[in-house]
Each structure stands twice: as C-alpha cells, then as structure tokens.
Structure 1
Amino acid sequence: MSSLAPSPQLSPEHCYPALLARDARFDGLWFVGVSSTGIYCRPVCRVKTPRRENCHFFANAAQAEAAGYRPCLRCRPETAPAQDLRWSVTDASRTLARQAAQLIEADPRQNVSALAERLGISSRHLQRIFEAEHGVSPLAFLHTRRLLLAKQLLMDSPLAMAEVAEAAGFGSLRRFNALFLQHYRLQPGSLRKAGEPPPSVTACGEPGLRLAYRPPLAVDALLAFLEARAVPGVEQVDRRQQLLSRSLRLQHQGRWAVGRLVVRFQPERSTVLLSPCSTLWVAAGSLIPLVRRWLDLDAAPEAIHQQLTSLPALEPGLRLPGCVDRFELAVRAVLGQQVTVAAARTLASRFVERFGELLPEGHRTPEVQRLFPQPETIAVLPVEAIAELGIIRTRAQALIALARQWPTLAYAHQRGTQEEALAEVQALPGIGPWTAQYMLMRGWSAPDLFPPGDVVLKQQLTEPGQPAPSPKALALHAQAFSPYRSYAVLQLWHHAARSTRSKT
C-alpha cells in the first residue's frame, strides 16, 4: 500500500467500533482498507472483521484506491450511498470543492477542465481546493467514480463490454481495459462468469442494479407522498409491493433514451432494486445518480432527525422526494397553485393525455403508457389549447412562458447559485415565491428551504388556542430546523396528511 494517510478525523478509535457493529449509519461516509488483503470495504461488509492493526480508514473510495486498495467483491463499495454534499458551508472554497464532488458523483463522464469552467474557477484552483477537502485530486476522484460505475454495470447489467466502457465515460474500450487492470489487477471480463451471458434484466422486478441507502428510510411515507401526486399514464405507485414504475426520457452523452423504469424497495437489505427496460440500460451512467436524487438515497437520516426533534410526531427516515424531470416538476407545481393535490393531479393527467407522447410499443403497461410533454411541445401551443383542459388562462400562459424560456434557464440545468435560480424563476409570469421554492426543494433537492405562505405549515406550527404566527415569525421559527428546513416541511406535510386520514 502507499503511504497516503487517512483523514485525521477518521481515527480507529471512532471507526473500528462501528466496523465491529457493522453500523449502517456510517455506510458510504467512510471506507476501511485492510492491509493484509489489499481490499477496501464498506462499514457494513459481512466478511469476518479484520484485526484493528490491519485497518486503515478513508473518507471516500477515491482515497482508498489512491492508497492502492481494491474494492471488495462482496460488499461492493460501488453500491454504497454517496456522501450528502448538498449542505452549505461558510467557507467558499469548501463549498466549491463539495459542489465539484457532487457534480462528479452525478456525472462521472465529464472532464476536469469542463468541471472547473462550470464552477467558474481555474483548473489549478479546483485542484488545490479539491485536494484540501477530499484528500485526492479531482482526476483521481473522477477515475474512481468511473471505475466503480463500470464495475457495477459489469456485475449487474446486460450491457456488452464496449457499452459498459461508453456508459461509464471511458473514451475507448482499450483505455477502459487498461485502467481497470491497472487499478484493480483484474480483467473486466473476470467479473462475469466464464461462458455465461450477462444477466437478463427487465423492467418488471427482475434482478437489476442495487442501490444502497443509510437506514432508516420511511418507505411507506415516501410512497404515499408520490402516490398522491402520481400522474395516471406516466407513473404508478404500489405501496403494498413497495414499488414505483414510470416512463422516462433521459439524456445521456448527447442522446435521448426513452423507456420505462421500475424501482422496488428492499428495506430488509437497505437497498432499492433498479430495473430499467432494455432501451434505458445504455443510459445507466446518468440513470443511477438521477434515481439516487429522486428518492433521496444519499440522505443522512440521523443528522436530520437530531435537528428536527422539536417537530410533532416525527417520522424517522422521511426523505425529500426529488424528481426525474425538472420541467415536469415545474409544470406540475404551476398546475398545483391554489388547488388541492388531487385537483392538480387531475389537471396534470389531462395535460399528459393531450400533449404527451406514447411510449414505444413493448414498453407500455396499462398503468404506464405516456411520456410527460417536453418544453418544445408546449412552447408553440396557443393558450386556448391548454385552457380548454380546464386550466385557467393565466396558468396556461405561465406554462407557455416557462416552456419558451426553458432552454436558457439556470434552474433547468442546475447552474449558478440557489438564490440566482430562485430570482430567475420568480421573474417568470405566474410563478411566485412558494412555487419557486417548491421547484428548488424537489428539482434541485435543496435541503434548506421553507416555502413562504404555506397554509399547512402555518397550521401545523400554530400552538393550540394561539393566533397564527405572522410570516416573519414563521420564518424565524423555521430557522431552528436549518440546515434541514425542507425536511421539516415534508415532516409537517406528512403529519397533516396523516391527521386528515385518521379523521376520515
């Protein structure tokens, strides 16, 4: 092994007891390299616990690989939940370094120069701040993410070797083979059983990509939230089977992949099983981080719980649902203004039925048949075409304006700061502060927003027998939940919905 030292905060005194307990709270937050085997593992690995003197702890997989360790084939570090890098910090350099790591996690196919340009800094400055925060260079971090993604696709997907290399962001199969052998001392093909084809994976619950999360995860509460908002024809929620199914249009390496996706929760294993249809497998490199954000699989529930303990009837493990399509979310947010969730769902269903394309034959089911309409389709519509669906004209005009501005919106591409995106979205006709904050809460997975003027939040935070707090007082009250105010919003909405159901 190399002489690279683990981060000082990852001392054996703190990490080794968690390793002995196989404590899932630390899964993905650090990794252990075992000097006697040259392998690094997740804290939850079920192999015999190594001796303490043989254990070296690392803050991320890239550090472990830079020290010469190879990923375990049993606990599979590539399936671990990622560190949640969304939280704001006061130091600007740390913020940029965390943003850079988050962007690499979301898309390991980009290059370091383009990443620095996107962040508005030089490659040299990115190198310096990234190494200070993460202990490795951005290029090493990027290579690790690509190799781990390729390893996961080799073991779980039906993709051919060349397709795996392309999906993981390698320029050529030859380059992929060389790097895989150099880092892991394995030929890529050795991860597939000799003489056997890759696993057969379908979008109906068959074995697929396994994505881990840190427990607890309130599966039924998450599914209840999504079920109440599920648009017929686009998505289906089955709470009994703990399953989600929906249509998807996904851009990957400049091309569009269209198909149907099934996600099944496996709480006993703290994983979800991701089963794309055949047309989506080629976009697996973009699909995996998208699903992780959609279902908030990288959240740190213990830290969130500790910050929200003053809330009534706190639901452990409640997640912040994201989205798979920001335009879809934005449209649905506009349709939901000043109406009930059920009414908004009805309007969205009409919208999809009129303007959404059918999925290709062979990928439709009775429940999932259509794709959500695209911005370019809505941008050229006359107001009357939308208004005749029962959508008031001002909202129809807002949807058309949103669609026309979509290609240049920073919100659409998650560019710039949160404050800039909020201001830009609110400058659009028909979008106020509540809608803008809701769009960022779910579209950007922003963890620390508290939509102003929300009636349910005001009701839930009003003490019995006391007058409702003013908007200023409500905002001050919400500060106690920072940096997890968005999670407080979900908890309060969930508590209100549960109270309503218990009265009916």
Structure 2
Amino acid sequence: MTPPSPFDADACYRAVVAHDARFDGAFFIGVTSTGIYCRPVCRVKTPRRENCRFFTHAAQAEGAGFRPCLRCRPELAPQALAWSAQDASALLARHAARLLDSPDAWGDAAPSVAGLAARLGVSDRHLRRVFEAELGVSPLAWLQTRRLLAAKQLLADTRLPIAQVALAAGFASLRRFNAALAAHYRMSPTALRRQGQGAPHGDGIEVVLGFRPPYDVQAMLIFLQQRSVPGAEQVDVEAATVARTLRLQVGQRGIGGWVACRFDPGAHRVHVRVADTLAPALPRVIARVRAWLDLDADPAAIHAVLGADFPSAAGVRVPGTLDGFELAVRAIVGQQVSVAAARTLTTRLVARFGEPLATPIDGLARLFPAPAALAGASGDELGRLGLVRQRQAALHALARAVDAGQLALHAGADVPATLAALTALPGIGDWTAQYIALRALRWPDAFPAGDVALHKALGVSSQRHRARAAQALAERWRPWRGYAAVRAWQTKEVSIS
C-alpha cells in the first residue's frame, strides 16, 4: 500500500482510523476541536473527519497553532526523509532541513539561517523563500519545532535537570526555553515533566524511538553481529538487543559512554538506554541511534522502487553507524578481505589503541580508537596487528584528516564534497568511499559498484566490466541504490526481470 498523500485527506483519515503504523511520521493530524496534533497511530478516540487537518511535518502543525499530543508524543515518530525529490528547489529545501535536523552538522555552533545559507551557497532571502514554499514553514520555525520536541522528549523520559534539558535541546538560556514552551505548548517544563513523569536514573537514561513497519529486525542484527567487535559492541539476535560504546566531542572535551538498544517489533519501537556520561549530548546520541538503526526509513516508498527485483525484502534496512570515523576505519580495514578477517583486524585495533571504559554491561569495556590515537600510531605497531602498508597509509591519512577537522563523516555532511575528499586520500577508492557514504553519510543512493559480493548477488558475470554492468543495472533503483545493494547482500534473492 502506498502512503497517502498528505493532501489526500480521505486517505489520511482512513490511515488514522486504522492506526496504521506504516504511515507514522508520514503525516500528522491536527484536531481543531482540541488544538492538539497527533500521529496516525494515536490511540485516543478517533476525531470526527470534519475536525481533522493534515500536515506533512510537525513544524507545519505547530505553525498552524496546534500543540503536540501528550499521549502519542509526536517526538517519537520516525522522521520523513524525502531523498527522492528531483526539483532543484525541493532538493535545496530538503537538504536544508536535513542540516537543521542533524546536531552533528553544527558541532558546538548554534544553527542559524545565515550559517545554513552560507553552507548551501545561497542567500538568506532565497533560502527562506524556497524553504517556506516547499515545506510550509520558515527555517527558524522548523528549527524551533525540532528543539521543542527534543526538549519535550527529554522532559518526559528522563530526570535530567531542566536547565540541562534546555541546553541539550539547543536553547541559549533557561529563560528562552521557558518562554518558548509557554508560547507554543502553553505549559511549563515542570508541568510537562509531571505529565511524562520521567524515567528514574539507574543504569543510564532511557528513551523510546519509533519506526515504520515492516522492519526486518533479525536481518539488521545479524548484519551487525557478523561485524561486532568484542569489547566495543555486543549483539544478541535472539534477545533483539545491541549495545556498544561511544565517544563524543562536546566542546573542548571528549566524553565516553555506552548505548544499549532493545527492539520491540510488535509496538514498532526501540527502547534505548544511554550512559549518564553522554547526557550533555543526548539529542546528538538520539539522532545517531536513529541513523545507526535506520529508524527513519520509509519502507513503502523504497519498496515501490525495489519490490519488483527484491520482492521478499521490504523490511530490510541499511545499517548505519554511531561513529563515522569508526565506520571509515572499518571500511579501510575490510578492503579485499572477508568480513571475518576484517572483524579480527578491527578487534586487534580496538584492543591495542582503544581506551578502557567502565560500563554496567558485561563484556563492553573499550572505546573505539580516537582519530588522534590512530594518527599517531607507528607503521610498526599497525604492521604487527596484520595491517599491510597500503592500509596503514590509508588509516594514517584518514585519521589525520578527521583529527584536524578537515573531514566530517556524519549524516549531515555534504555527500559530493565528502566523496571527493575521501577519494583524494591515499588508499581510498570508489568502493570504500561509496560504502562510507552509504553507512556513515546515510546517502541512500550510494552504490559500491565494484563490490565482488554484490556482483555475485546480482549475477554480473563479465570479468572486465563487472562494475560498469552493475552500475547500468542499478539505474532502475535510483534514488534507493544503497538499499538495493544491502538487499542483494543480505537476501541474495534478486528477481531481475
């Protein structure tokens, strides 16, 4: 079933009546009789059809004066990622929205329209005009909604001090935070916390994240388990859990911690516990978890393009990463070796250069090596771990570029510029760059055409021109070629017609 257009009100209303989770986050419902907006999965009494207004984005609903529902909690909905836009204005607006949605894209700087326009190479005025025409709200209104919903989630799910919530959500001061909540939600932080109660501190902070079905949880966990590095990550397919360590840079200091996730497929949710040490960067952690587990994918839109060739893989997602640098290192280590061999080499790297970390999770005890640690590692040290000189040179170049701030590997990065920067480094070719773009930059159209396993899965037999043949075959899968690659790797059931 294709997701209803937000402007097809009758189709949207049928999805609301059915509480259909496949459309969660695809649109929101504003109820004029209450002034509240909800997700399609909300379990309150279904409103009358004439009292419903439908919005593509939460920011549009809030711009129209609606307040978020305290029961279904719009902040838990998967985000709507529109990579398939072809029009130049639509692409610009959606790229701008992605940057505003990505805390990693800004580091310690506060997002601004001027800064956003400069990154995109357009004027402030042009950006505001295009953004509002395409998305129905101004960039500032979009950003304000994101901050408010992030704060609402932290107030409802955690016991973090209110001042810390305000800072973590991106507000410059507690006064501005209180004023924004009063103006938009007509509630104080304390009242919102009473409504949600907040999870008590124990072993970490717990939050809940939603996703749209279908989701092949087993395929995701098997992929991660096959590549898991002892000491730094753990995967239990049967228990539907995955946990790992994580290092973040907050201001001038690095902080280490851990993240543990448990899938609840029946409720289309993931329960996430985050170490208290990562609390200052909790919205960043949440955004990374969403990207890591591909919680914002729209399976219906993707399967509409890929379903004819991969009919049994509607729930397959693209595994991401919590750390783009780590993923890039693992991509380099994995060049021209098996998954098992790459895992062995990466385990040695973590054991030798990763810092110890105390966690409440048995067996989870080391951070992945920092860029500075690998940049300073000698060739002899890397060689003793089994890394040949070509891999050593690539790792050194990558680590130095990331450590110097010359290369950013996250979901908000500019894809063409990052691909060019990666392939300019020694030892990084198109396959490695495309793989990094797929999993670290979250570019759904990335396609590692030179991958041998992909050639086998796609039945590409030409010895001399296999990459070119794979590229030609993949044209039909744009803009979801990355999902096609993962489906081919995982299912090995391609029905090319």
Instruction: Indicate the SS of the match to 2:180.
Output: helix
Verify the 8 A CA contact 1:202 1:276 in the aligned structure 2: no
Give 1:174 shift: 1.3
Identity of aligned residues (%): 50
Listed as ranges, the gaps of 5+ residues in structure 2 are none
The equivalences for 1:34-433 within 5 A come to: 34-85=31-82, 87-107=83-103, 110-193=111-194, 198-203=198-203, 208-252=206-250, 255-312=253-310, 314-359=312-357, 361=358, 363=359, 365-406=361-402, 407-412=404-409, 417-433=414-430
Q: CA deviation at 1:203?
A: 4.4
Q: Secondary structure at the match of 2:194?
A: coil
Q: Which moved more, 1:114-123 or 1:241-250?
A: 114-123
Provide closer, same or farther for how the CA distance between residues 303 and 413 of structure 1 changes in structure 2, counting only shifts above 3 A. closer
- Paired residues, number: 484
Q: State the 1:158 CA deviation.
A: 1.8
What CA deviation, in whole Å up to 9, does each residue of 1:451-500 have, x standing for no partner?
1221111112228xx767743222111111111111111111112499xx
**Superposition TM-score, scaled by structure 1 size:** 0.91
Partners of 2:410 and 2:440 within 8 A in 1: no
Separation (CA, whole Å) in 2 of partners of 1:31 and 1:127: 23
Secondary structure of the 2:92 match is helix
**CA separation of 1:110/1:435 partners in 2, compared to 1, >3 Å: closer, same or farther?**
same
TM-score (norm 2): 0.92
1:411–1:425 Cα contact (<8 Å) kept: no
For the 8 Å contact 1:159–1:282, the answer to whether it is kept is no
Q: Residues 202, 264 of structure 1: CA spacing in aligned structure 2 closer, same or farther, 3 A cutoff?
A: farther
- 2:330–2:342 contact (8 Å) kept in structure 1: yes
The aligned amino acid for 2:317 is R
Encode CA deviations 1:221-276: one digit per residue, 9 max, x unaligned.
00000000111110000111111111011234665331111111111110101110
Is the 1:238–1:244 contact (alpha carbons within 8 Å) kept by the matching residues of 2?
A: yes
What displacement does 1:202 show?
4.0
Which amino acid letter does the alignment assign opposite residue 398 of structure 1? A
Structure 1 residue 30: deviation in Å? Answer: 0.9
Equivalent position of 2:457 in the other structure: 460
CA separation in 1, counterparts of 2:233 and 2:378? 27
**One-letter code aligned to 2:77:** A
Indicate how the Cα distance of structure 1 residues 416 and 390 shifts in structure 2: closer, same or farther if over 3 A, else same: closer
Q: Does the CA contact (< 8 Å) of 2:5 and 2:11 recur in 1?
A: no
The SS at the match of 2:314 is coil
Counterpart pick for 2:477 among 463, 481, 486: 481
Superposition deviation, residue 100 in structure 1: 1.1
Shift of 1:411: 4.5
Q: What displacement does 1:197 show?
A: 7.8
Listed as ranges, the gaps of 5+ residues in structure 1 are: 1-6, 499-504
* 1:278-307, Cα deviation, whole Å (9 max, x unpaired): 111221121111111111100000111121
Q: CA–CA distance in 2 between the matches of 1:216 and 1:313?
A: 13
The farther-off stretch of 481-490 and 402-411 is: 402-411
Amino acid across the alignment from 1:183? H
Q: Distance in 1 between matches of 2:248 and 2:257?
A: 9
- TM-aligned CA deviation for residue 14 of structure 1: 2.5
1:119 offset after TM fit, Å? 1.9
Cα root mean square deviation, aligned: 2.3
Deviations 1:365-398 (A, max 9, x none): 4321111111111112221111111111221122
| Cα separation, partners in 2 of 1:10 and 1:149, compared to 1, 3 Å | same
CA distance in structure 1 between the aligned counterparts of 2:228 and 2:327, rounded to whole angstroms: 11
**Alignment counterpart, residue 447 of structure 2, candidates 442, 450, 455:** 450
Q: CA deviation at 1:189?
A: 0.4
Question: Partner of 1:502 in structure 2?
Answer: none
